[in-house]
Amino acid sequence: MSGAREKKRAKKMRNQPASVTLPAEPGPFPAGGSRACPPPGDVRSEGLLQYQQQKFLHQSPGTSYRKDQYFPKGQNRGGRGRGRGGWQGGCQSASEEMPKYITASTFAQARAAEINAMLKAVAQKSSNSLVFQTLPRHMRRRAMSHSIKRLPRRLHEIARKEAEKAVHQKKEQSKTKCRKARRRHINLVAEFNRRQRKNIWLETHIWHAKRFHMIKKWGYCLADRPTEKSYRACYRAMTKHCLLQDLSYYCCLELNGEENELLKQLARICSPDTGLMFGAEFCLSGRFEGSLNLYRADHYPEDMLGPVTFIWKPKDGSENRQLWIWMHPALKQDILNELKEIFQCSEPEEICIPEPFTTLIQEEKQTDVAVSLGKKRKKEDKDGEKAVPVKKIIGDGTRDPLQPYSWTSPATGIVISDQSMEILRYRLIGPLSHSVLTETLKAAALQTEMADSETELNNWWVENCKDSEKVSLHQQQTAIFELLEGISSPAEVPAGTILGLTVGDPRVNLPKKKTKAMPDPEKYRDYDKVRQLFLEGVPVGCAHSFIWDHDICKNVTENKISEQDLNHMRGQLLVPGSQLDLGPCESKIPVLLVQQPGKMAGEDRPGWGSGWDICLPKGWGMAFWIPFIYRGVRVGGLQESLKHSEYKRTPHTPNDYPDCPAGIQFAKELENSLLEKFKRRPPAKRANYVKLGTLSPFLCPWGQLTKNWEERLKASGEFVCPSFPHTESCATKGQSLCDPKPEVVKEASPETGEVEQTMEISSEGALMTEDVAGTQGFGEGDETMTRSIFIVLRSEKLLMQLSAWCYPTSGKDRRDRLVSRLGQKEMTEHALLPILMSYPRAIVWVNLSLLRKGNPELHAMICIPTEEDFLHLSKDQLFCGPQEPKHCDIFKHKIQKLKRKKKKKEEEEEDVKALESDPPGISDKEITEEHKDLILGLWSDPLPDVTSHCSRTLLGYVTRGDFSLAAGCGEALGFVSLTGLLHMLHRQPTDKKGLVLLRTPASLQYRFARLNIEV
């Protein structure tokens, strides 16, 4: 039976006396145990001894003694006549003539021992019940479980023991204070502050922590996914209504300085090839938000730093400009360092720093409370620590006040300051997000006089309202904001539109019940104006917001009316439940609305997932959050944002940036976690990836992939002019080859500077590989040269060309149209060659949608179908895909050998341990041994040629794949080798272009998928 049951049974039986039998020696009893009977005075000890013997039955040390001891007795008890010799040599040799004496005493001793054993068994309760449960019902009393004295006296002792045990089992109360004390506001705030010292909490942390699975990432506590079932509901919200996300963890770097200086240096870290520049006209005016990829200065296309979005503060006459660069926290340190380097901002600016980052809203109030209550409460406390007011941390709780957060350049006067957690950012995704916004936010009322001369509340707004120009600007902004009610989807507004606004306190017009914000068709007015908005975007001035002004933000943060006061005022309303009118006391909050473009690339679902971002000054997080919730939005966490980008088919930071440091870090962490998970399963219950032909199920070896493809190309001699000899240094040759075709060179000209570098590095890599003669492990290559070994192709022109080439010609006119629209060349060797030459080791972001069945998974392999596969597919429309033949596990034998060796060694070590008893050293040794161990089912390091390991040639890997609710079929996103892709496209028949095979790591089945490059 099962072990648990055995154990339970053993526990139940532990008080029962075991059977007592004679020792297992056959034959007649020995004549005369020399030390037979114990002295008669020692009967009690003998009884105990016998009990012990009962416990350890048949154990060698006791047997001989016991045998000696008992044989005389047995003999005497049973038959008088026979074995007299039994006790002849006994210690009481004097009693030989009176056999009855001995008989009686041993007889009595055996009986006494048995009585003892039985008494013990009877006295112990055998069941698992408590003492009072064993009492008959009429003897039970209500308080028995609490008070021992309610029990009969004879049970007191047992009950006391039981009660002690129960106390031990209870969880140790770690907190010294009672719950009431712990939940008291001051203590609660202190506790929260303590807990957010290590990881930054967002302002909505408590709200999220009650509803979400929280994870600690990038120094923040972030909501991962809701605890409720909401996978589909979140998707529905994204497509039909509105999904809200707290993106306050995104970091904002503020650059302050002269426009020309800024642009000059910033141009070094990005490239016009990839799309926008910081100096793009429509962004520079401050009307639109731009997004681009940053590279290390002058290193394009290598050394990617990560994607960012940026907003310029609209021009206000002076030469100094303000620029916000928003980025993912994983990228922040790299980008900040790079920015500091290019602007030579080394000096920490000291004027800015002393400003307390933990702003105290309720400080004064609370000290008052402390003083008034202190007399009563604090005196009883051990020490009067009332002098320390407890402040709620707003903003970054982990900041070290001594560390600089802003740097200035002595030469140019450019200031870089780290504004993360100073500005909150919420993202509303979905077609009705503008309805939510318009319902929640109400433009601030004009105010010409201060509510209270003492406070600073709204003094900036009053000042502002005195200026008629600014008043008109505010009215213009308000008018445009109200126009938003009339649009049907945020996607209609130009991408990245920025709208500045000053709004009233959103808590004032909180609806009584949670309702879904819906667009009101009656407000469909001013059609012309709406159309003008669509076409031209927001007028220049309207992008202005007071949120750019730090002093105003600080003022707004500090003068927030607390929730408590607001509720108090609500309670004093004459008509309960009527609208609260704060009049001049109502706070005015500057916000910034930024339109987020949805799906821009590709042909299906244009504008899907568009929405608005709202930036708020810190401290106002919950004040805006709850009103949004009351408009029926659904809240998502990190998982939802991942899905959002997946359905948009855009790369997600940092998962899909394998060439930036954060992406490499992410991939490593992912590999470790997957490997841990894999190792936790027993070997027989996990996939044997060696047999499945999956070389690296937990990590995508991009470096190895691109290297292998380069070698393949060289070996095949394809795309290389016959006159061109195979040599190592193809860099110079590549250039010379390009020379006779001037137009081609022109096309590749932006990269020519880099071509050399990549070539150099690649040739270095080639040299290295030659040194190690193919045995070089990808792990090594991964660690030492990943950053230089491959690049991700982000040049828009090239991507566009590739995208056109990927289209099958079945819809011939469409492709023609596309080709003509994009001004593309036909795919010929002339067109391919320069690309191959300039990007020998590049990977391309692609998306794949499965033709039929199949659900792609993480790290699925993208392979090139053979001609037979196509033949099969054209014959049989239901053909799912070919199967990979099973590989054989070449490591199994080795692992078994190792195991045997290890076992032997362990045995030896155990012997050593027994001798030396020195556990720490041995455990260390074991760990190192384990590290070297091969893992059953995984390829151990040096990987063979990844491309040709399986029956179908490997092209790339999937980084994200799932069933897409948006497309209704399995969809995957991933990277393929550029060389491999061109090779494949070049050879595929025109109507089958872009067809690839997908295989998940734990399966042998290939599935057909269509490869697309969306630009």
Structure tokens at 281: 């006209």
CB of 62 to another protein, least distance (A): 14
* 22 versus 479: smaller Cβ distance to another protein: 22
* 169 versus 572: smaller Cβ distance to another protein: 169
121 binds another protein (CB under 8 A): yes
Figure out which of the listed residues 36, 110, 662, 1009 binds another protein, where binding follows CB under 8 A.
110
CB of 85 to another protein, least distance (A): 12
* 76 versus 497: smaller Cβ distance to another protein: 76
113 binds another protein (CB under 8 A): yes
How is 494-557 classified by DSSP, letter by letter?
PTTBEEEEEEE-TTTT--SS-------GGG---HHHHHHHHHH-S-GGGG--GGG-HHHHHHHH
Backbone angles phi, psi at 144, to 5 degrees: -55, -35
* 158 versus 800: smaller Cβ distance to another protein: 158
* 55 versus 516: smaller Cβ distance to another protein: 55
637: Cα within 13 Å, side-chain hemisphere: 26
Q: Checking phi first, is residue 317 left (phi over 0); if not, alpha (psi -120 to 50) or beta?
A: left
CB of 146 to another protein, least distance (A): 22
410 binds another protein (CB under 8 A): no
Residue 132 · residue 152 · CB < 8 Å: no
105 binds another protein (CB under 8 A): yes
* 73 versus 507: smaller Cβ distance to another protein: 73
What is the distance in angstroms between the CA of the first residue and the CA of the last residue of the chain? 64
* 101 versus 870: smaller Cβ distance to another protein: 101
CB of 106 to another protein, least distance (A): 9
Burial class, 68, CB count within 10 angstroms (exposed 0-12 / middle 13-18 / buried 19+): buried
Figure out which of the listed residues 31, 118, 446, 890 binds another protein, where binding follows CB under 8 A.
118
Figure out which of the listed residues 31, 108, 206, 871 binds another protein, where binding follows CB under 8 A.
108
CB of 65 to another protein, least distance (A): 14
The window from 157-165, 315-323, 482-490, 574-582 that contacts another protein (CB under 8 A) reads 157-165
Residue 862 · residue 1011 · CB < 8 Å: yes
**Residue found under tokens 């909050």:** 589
911-930 positions binding another protein, by CB under 8 A: none
The window from 106-114, 560-568, 640-648, 811-819 that contacts another protein (CB under 8 A) reads 106-114
Residue 805 · residue 951 · CB < 8 Å: no
* Helix ranges (DSSP H) in 241-302: 259-266, 281-284
Figure out which of the listed residues 56, 59, 93, 126 binds another protein, where binding follows CB under 8 A.
126
CB contact set of 178 (below 8 Å; sequence gap of 6+): none
Structure tokens at 356: 């307390």
Question: Would you give the binding string for another protein spanning residues 15-44, x where CB under 8 A is met?
Answer: xxxxxxxx---x-xx----------xx-xx
Burial 91-119 (b: 16+ CB within 10 A, else e): eeeeeeeeeeebbebbeebbeebbebbee
Structure tokens at 826: 């036909």
* 112 versus 585: smaller Cβ distance to another protein: 112
164 binds another protein (CB under 8 A): no
* 110 versus 761: smaller Cβ distance to another protein: 110
Relative orientation angle of helices 829-838 and 730-738, to the nearest 10 degrees: 140
* 92 versus 476: smaller Cβ distance to another protein: 92
765 binds another protein (CB under 8 A): no
* 95 versus 239: smaller Cβ distance to another protein: 95
Figure out which of the listed residues 111, 377, 514, 814 binds another protein, where binding follows CB under 8 A.
111
Cis peptide before 61 (omega within 30 of 0): no
The window from 9-17, 263-271, 469-477, 1002-1010 that contacts another protein (CB under 8 A) reads 9-17
Figure out which of the listed residues 12, 120, 184, 197 binds another protein, where binding follows CB under 8 A.
120
234: Cα within 13 Å, side-chain hemisphere: 21
How many Cβ atoms are within 10 Å of 2's Cβ, its own excluded?
7
User: Which of these, 974, 982, 940, 959, lies nearest to 710 by C-alpha position?
Assistant: 982
Size of the site for another protein (CB under 8 A): 57
User: Which of these, 489, 475, 476, 483, lies nearest to 438 by C-alpha position?
Assistant: 483
615 binds another protein (CB under 8 A): no
119 binds another protein (CB under 8 A): yes
CB of 138 to another protein, least distance (A): 20
What's the CA gap between 505 and 589, in Å, rounded?
Answer: 7
* 37 versus 465: smaller Cβ distance to another protein: 37
- Length of the chain (residues): 1015
Question: Would you give the binding string for another protein spanning residues 60-99, x where CB under 8 A is met?
Answer: ----------xx-xxxxxxx--xx--x--------x--x-
* 82 versus 531: smaller Cβ distance to another protein: 82
CB of 122 to another protein, least distance (A): 5
Determine the 3-state secondary structure of 415 from DSSP. Answer: strand
**Residue found under tokens 């994607």:** 307
469-498 positions binding another protein, by CB under 8 A: none
CB of 71 to another protein, least distance (A): 8
* Helix ranges (DSSP H) in 363-432: 363-377
147 binds another protein (CB under 8 A): no
Residue 841 · residue 833 · CB < 8 Å: no
User: Which of these, 248, 244, 240, lies nearest to 634 by C-alpha position?
Assistant: 244
CB of 69 to another protein, least distance (A): 10
Which residues here bind another protein, judged by CB under 8 A?
1, 14-22, 26, 28-29, 40-41, 43-44, 47, 70-71, 73-79, 82-83, 86, 95, 98, 100-101, 104-105, 107-116, 118-124, 126, 157-158, 161
